[in-house]
Copies of this chain bind each other. A is one copy, B any other.
Amino acid sequence: MIAVIFTSTRSSADEDGYRAMAERMDALAREQDGFLSIVSVRDPATREGISVSYWRDEASALAWKQVAEHLQAQELGRELWYVEYATTVAEVTRTYRHPPAR
């Protein structure tokens, strides 16, 4: 399983456009082959956000990066929506949960 960790700081530009894109990308990611889950948090006060998506394998994580509509969103992200961001790709080795039975 692959984890894609996306850490970003939102600019103050285009709040409505950003929200619409974020919802659309969440929905689109869920439709992709190999998608497992996604969790996203942003603090409105600091404008910092972390989003972690989980994928079956490297190939499905890479394929998602190249989906045309996602590429357009990435370009608008660089130009408009984010002051800065980082994407880290990592291979999951283990997970602990509490409570355990979920």
Which A positions have Cβ atoms within 8 angstroms of B? 3, 5, 7, 39, 41-46, 48-52, 58, 77-78, 82, 84-99, 102
A91:B89 contact, CB within 8 angstroms: no
A91:B91 contact, CB within 8 angstroms: yes
A7, A39, A41, A89 pick with most chain B CB within 10 angstroms = A41
How many copies of this chain does the complex contain?
2
What would be 6 A-B contacts, judged by CB atoms less than 8 Å apart? A3-B88, A39-B50, A41-B41, A44-B44, A88-B95, A90-B90
CA A46 – CA B90 in complex, angstroms? 27
A91:B88 contact, CB within 8 angstroms: no
CA A3 – CA B102 in complex, angstroms? 23
| Identity of the chain B residue whose Cβ is nearest the Cβ of A95 in the assembled complex | B88
B87:A90 contact, CB within 8 angstroms: no
